[in-house]
């Protein structure tokens, strides 16, 4: 080895191995293509062997590149973990806590209450990575999110129940369905199109909902759009003829039901669990 290399060069190598193209690697790293090429070249010069074979279709790992890739991944991952730990201790040494709120729950009243604490940094943006992993890596200190039925215990994480609510809420727009809450029956709309915020927020609600419909109505919902939040489910209702099925009761969903054309009805209070 001719000289030491830095972590940015090693990270460029790992990303390039995953992406296979200079343009995609540059986009992932947020740098220019020439900068990517320079980092790879410096790393190859330091190691004394080539990591990639350049082709018209992109790049391919050399045998030497393949042999060191796994260790390079571990180094990059360990460096990232070290930075997160250092940031966590720097953050917590000042007595501050980073709390992420799942966007479906992040309505104004809750944000106002939590933001009143000078020790709490409140985050509400959609997270690309799994929040459990971000807690383990110390990127987050606390998460406020929804669950359904008996949420699986996640090893190494402490869970506290803040609020328990029964049932579901059905929501629709008068512009698409001229029907009163008193005469609404879900069985009549199982084939019409539903929106269920279950993809990444309330794990397990889709499975329970399907099972319950089969048990009670002897049929399954035919067209269900799984979305990422209650807000998104409501937007789907406003855009077209769909019924949103929101976990929780009417009061808990009040912050997403402010549009003048929306109508809502609490469902299954006697049947669905909390």
Closest to 22 (Cα-Cα) out of 35, 9, 6, 10: 35
Computed over every residue of the chain, the mean pLDDT equals 81
What average pLDDT does range 200-220 have in this prediction? 77
Task: Tell me which H or E stretch contains 181.
Answer: none
Crossing angle of the two packed helices 33-47 and 22-29, in degrees rounded to 10: 100
pLDDT tens digit sequence for 212-227: 888 888 888 888 888 8
pTM attached to this predicted model: 0.53
Q: What is the DSSP letter of 199?
A: T
Q: Are 170 and 184 in contact (CB under 8 A)?
A: yes
pLDDT for 104 equals 67
What six digits make up the tokens of 142? 């606390």
- For residue range 142-174, what is the model confidence (pLDDT) as tens digits? 888 777 665 556 777 888 887 777 778 889 999
Dihedral angle of Cα 36, 39, 43, 48, to the nearest 10 degrees: 80
Q: What is the pLDDT of residues 43-64, one digit of tens each?
A: 999 888 999 998 877 889 999 9
Tokens of 16: 């390039």
Distance CA 154, CA 55 (A): 45
Say how many C-beta atoms besides its own lie within 10 A of residue 75's C-beta: 16
Q: What are the tokens at 4? A: 């030491």
For residue 271, the model assigns a pLDDT of: 47
Cβ-contact 105, 201 below 8 angstroms: no
């Amino acid at each position: 080895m001719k000289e030491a290399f830095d972590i940015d060069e090693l990270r460029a190598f790992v990303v390039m191995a995953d992406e296979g193209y200079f343009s995609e690697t540059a986009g992932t790293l947020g740098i220019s293509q020439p900068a990517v090429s320079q980092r790879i070249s410096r790393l190859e010069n330091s190691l004394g062997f080539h990591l990639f074979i350049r082709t018209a279709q992109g790049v391919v790992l050399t045998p030497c590149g393949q042999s060191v890739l796994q260790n390079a991944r571990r180094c990059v991952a360990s460096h990232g973990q070290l930075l997160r730990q250092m940031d966590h201790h720097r953050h917590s040494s000042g007595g501050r806590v980073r709390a992420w709120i799942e966007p479906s729950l992040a309505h104004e009243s809750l944000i106002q209450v939590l933001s009143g604490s000078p020790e709490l940094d409140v985050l509400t943006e959609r997270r690309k990575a799994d929040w459990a992993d971000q807690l383990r890596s110390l990127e987050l200190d606390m998460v406020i999110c929804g669950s359904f039925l008996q949420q699986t215990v996640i090893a190494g994480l402490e869970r506290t129940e803040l609020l328990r609510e029964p049932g579901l809420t059905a929501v629709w727009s008068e512009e698409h369905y001229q029907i009163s809450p008193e005469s609404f029956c879900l069985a009549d709309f199982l084939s019409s199109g539903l929106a269920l915020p279950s993809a990444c927020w309330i794990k397990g609600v889709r499975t329970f909902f399907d099972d319950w419909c089969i048990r009670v109505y002897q049929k399954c919902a035919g067209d269900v759009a799984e979305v990422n939040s209650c807000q998104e489910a409501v937007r789907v209702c406003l855009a077209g003829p769909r019924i949103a099925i929101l976990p929780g009761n009417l009061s808990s969903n009040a912050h997403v039901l402010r549009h003048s054309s929306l109508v809502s009805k609490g469902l299954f209070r006697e049947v669905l669990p909390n």
